[in-house]
């Protein structure tokens, strides 16, 4: 995102979409009942996982009650990338569905970057506007949610770089911007990143929304065009394909290390038959230990590591908390109407 995407004058402070009490300081959440955002990888992953499950449960329940997250007419039914294309061509209903599905996630993510509710509101609308307009010039992204969050991060970072004195960002996001130099992902793609990117778009969408976002089954069914009863099978197929692609990517990465190559062969058998005992190689090889952990507990590996690999900046606990607040306190239909007027 270049400087041209950031306005010369940032929006003045006003009550944000998800603010339920006045913000008092950078990094403070909108409601006093929630913990302030922590760094991308907190000191206690077990507590973070528990908090994420509790927040995820509340979000799934809330998502099931919101009418605007679902398709209202058969002719609007479409996968995510096709929905973006339809919105670009002037499909008002497609734009409404796109915003309804993803507005809370974009708003929640931006609240892990920015501390001013007015800036969050502006950046959320700007993210959707940019993605819809750009779809006519670039190929559609396989997973619109990831594309929207990636764009939102670029918008927030660009605003801070252009207006560092007036654009208030969270401490963690500022540290990430300062430390992140060069192309992403740094140090070459990880096997999990490479394997995920090789998946068909359908399975990328399934894994992201099932394993990472933990979305409501009805919402995921809309996105994939599947009945809720078939989601478990879709998840299983996506995980199996990801596991195979991961092994292929890792085998290629360690091709010059005989001990690691031998371990990969063992790991390929172990992931399909847990009756085979693991070898001791992973105990003294960090990369093979990581591969074993990723493949043995694939859902956990996807949830813990994939967002940061794809987006760079990711504060899991804060994202889930802020997304829940956005779902609870905002109606995206107003934003959809404003975007429709701007894009016409």
Strand partners, 114: 169
* Long-range Cβ pairs for the range 291-299 (8 Å, 24+): 291/191, 291/246, 291/250, 291/264, 291/267, 292/267, 294/191, 294/192, 294/246, 295/243, 295/246, 295/247, 295/267, 295/271, 296/270, 296/271, 298/239, 298/242, 298/243, 299/211, 299/239
**What per-residue confidence (pLDDT) applies to 34?**
29
The dihedral formed by the CA atoms of 73, 74, 80 and 84, expressed in degrees to the nearest 10:
-60
More confident residue, 275 or 295: 295
Domain extent, residue 99, equals: 1-180+313-344
**For residues 245 and 198, is the Cβ–Cβ distance under 8 A?**
yes
**What per-residue confidence (pLDDT) applies to 284?**
87
Do both 254 and 282 map to the same domain? yes
Name the average pLDDT for the chain.
76
What pLDDT, in 10s, does the model give residues 258-283?
Answer: 999 998 888 887 766 555 555 678 88
Which pLDDT band holds residue 330 (cuts at 50, 70, 90)? confident
Q: How far apart are CA 121 and CA 128, in angstroms?
A: 11
**What per-residue confidence (pLDDT) applies to 40?**
40
Do both 59 and 153 map to the same domain? yes
Strand partners, 169: 114
Query: Could you give the percent of the chain with pLDDT greater than 90?
Result: 34
**For residues 313 and 153, is the Cβ–Cβ distance under 8 A?**
yes
**For residues 100 and 65, is the Cβ–Cβ distance under 8 A?**
no
Do both 228 and 288 map to the same domain? yes
Query: Could you give the percent of the chain with pLDDT greater than 70?
Result: 67
Do both 270 and 341 map to the same domain? no
What's the mean pLDDT in 48-60? 53
Q: How far apart are CA 59 and CA 328, in angstroms?
A: 9
**What per-residue confidence (pLDDT) applies to 195?**
94
Do both 205 and 165 map to the same domain? no
Do both 26 and 138 map to the same domain? yes
Do both 209 and 166 map to the same domain? no
**What per-residue confidence (pLDDT) applies to 224?**
83
What's the mean pLDDT in 190-201? 92
**What per-residue confidence (pLDDT) applies to 29?**
32
**What per-residue confidence (pLDDT) applies to 54?**
56
Do both 276 and 317 map to the same domain? no
Which pLDDT band holds residue 302 (cuts at 50, 70, 90)? very high
Do both 214 and 168 map to the same domain? no
Which secondary structure element, helix H or strand E, spans residue 89, and what is its range? none
What pLDDT, in 10s, does the model give residues 71-106?
Answer: 443 333 455 666 777 776 666 778 888 888 899 999
Number of domains present in the structure of the chain: 2
Which secondary structure element, helix H or strand E, spans residue 21, and what is its range? none
Q: How far apart are CA 252 and CA 254, in angstroms?
A: 6
25-34, 138-147, 198-207, 231-240: lowest mean pLDDT where?
Answer: 25-34
Do both 278 and 140 map to the same domain? no
What pLDDT, in 10s, does the model give residues 118-175?
Answer: 999 999 999 999 998 887 555 556 788 999 999 999 999 999 999 888 899 999 999 9
Do both 134 and 193 map to the same domain? no
Do both 47 and 168 map to the same domain? yes
Looking at the predicted structure, is the pLDDT value of residue 8 above 80? no
Looking at the predicted structure, is the pLDDT value of residue 22 above 60? no
């Amino acid at each position: 995102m270049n400087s041209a995407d950031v306005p010369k004058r940032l929006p003045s402070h006003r009550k944000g979409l998800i603010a339920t009490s006045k913000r008092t300081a950078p990094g403070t959440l909108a409601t006093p009942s929630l913990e302030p955002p922590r760094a991308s990888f907190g000191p206690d992953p077990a507590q973070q996982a528990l908090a994420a499950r509790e927040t995820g449960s509340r979000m799934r329940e809330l998502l099931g009650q919101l009418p605007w997250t679902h398709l209202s007419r058969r002719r609007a039914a479409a996968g995510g990338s096709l929905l973006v294309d339809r919105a670009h061509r002037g499909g008002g209903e497609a734009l409404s569905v796109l915003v309804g599905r993803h507005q809370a996630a974009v708003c929640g993510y931006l609240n892990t970057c920015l501390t001013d509710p007015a800036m969050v509101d502006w950046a959320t609308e700007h993210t959707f506007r940019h993605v819809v307009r750009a779809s006519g010039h670039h190929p559609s992204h396989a997973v619109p949610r990831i594309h929207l969050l990636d764009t939102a991060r670029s918008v927030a970072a660009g605003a801070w770089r252009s207006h560092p004195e007036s654009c208030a960002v969270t401490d963690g996001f500022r540290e990430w911007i300062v430390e992140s130099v060069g192309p992403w992902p740094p140090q070459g793609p990880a096997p999990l990143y490479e394997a995920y990117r090789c998946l068909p778009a359908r399975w990328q969408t399934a894994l992201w929304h099932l394993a990472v976002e933990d979305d409501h089954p009805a919402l995921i069914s809309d996105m994939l065009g599947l009945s809720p009863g078939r989601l478990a099978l879709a998840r299983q197929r996506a995980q199996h394909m990801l596991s195979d692609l991961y092994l292929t990517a890792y085998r290629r990465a360690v091709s010059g290390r005989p001990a690691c190559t031998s371990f990969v062969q063992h790991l390929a058998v172990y992931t399909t038959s847990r009756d085979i005992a693991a070898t001791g190689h992973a105990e003294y090889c960090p990369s093979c230990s990581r591969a074993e952990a990723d493949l043995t507990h694939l859902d956990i590996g996807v949830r813990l590591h994939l967002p940061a690999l794809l987006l760079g900046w990711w504060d899991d606990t804060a994202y889930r908390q802020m997304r829940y607040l956005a779902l609870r306190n905002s109606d995206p239909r107003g934003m959809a109407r404003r975007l429709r007027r701007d894009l016409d």
